[in-house]
Amino acid sequence: MASDLAMKTQKTVEEIFSILEKKKELVSSAESCTGGLLATVLTDVPGSSNFYEGGVTAYSNYAKQRLLGIDGTLLSTVGAVSQEVAVAMAQSVRAKLNTRYGIAITGIAGPGGGTKEKPVGTVWWAISDKGRTTSECLGLKGDRNSIRKQTVEIVLKKLLNIVKSNV
């Protein structure tokens, strides 16, 4: 799964990394529903250690609390799949790994786990950039692998746009 996605996103990742390398800036990631797929795609590009500091796969609420310091009250009141948690994850991973950009993904890839309010395919992403954090809710269709791949593709394009806007 990762190899076909890596081929599809390679040019986007290379463009992101070219800009980051010139500016000597780093990116980090915190993933839930994508289970490390974003980190895999980012590290499939040779030389990625020059711009990708690392990532955290915080799948459970416990991991989100312990590894990223996400407030348990926040998780229990708004849920892990929410704008607030995505933003907190992005800001936390950026701060903990001391990078310019922190990316976070949290969602419901399925096939189970969805509700009427948050159906399968509901994914929140956030990108923290020191002074601001951008986030968006996606309503994706498809099976588990498709939702995960779509999410990574979309987030990489969003990151490229943000990185380009800071040039």
Q: With beta carbons less than 8 A apart as the criterion, state whether 105 and 39 touch.
A: no
Number of domains observed in the structure of the chain: 1
pLDDT of residue 52: 97
Q: What is the model's pTM?
A: 0.96
Whole-number Cα distances in Å, 87 to 3, 70, 76, 136, 167: 28, 10, 16, 10, 23
The domain spanning residue 125 has which CATH number?
Answer: 3.90.950.20
What is the domain range of residue 106?
2-165
Amino acid at position 108, single letter: I
Q: What is the pLDDT of residues 3-60, one digit of tens each?
A: 788 888 999 999 999 999 999 999 999 999 999 999 999 999 999 999 999 999 999 9
Q: What is the pLDDT of residues 90-122, one digit of tens each?
A: 999 999 999 999 999 999 999 999 999 999 999
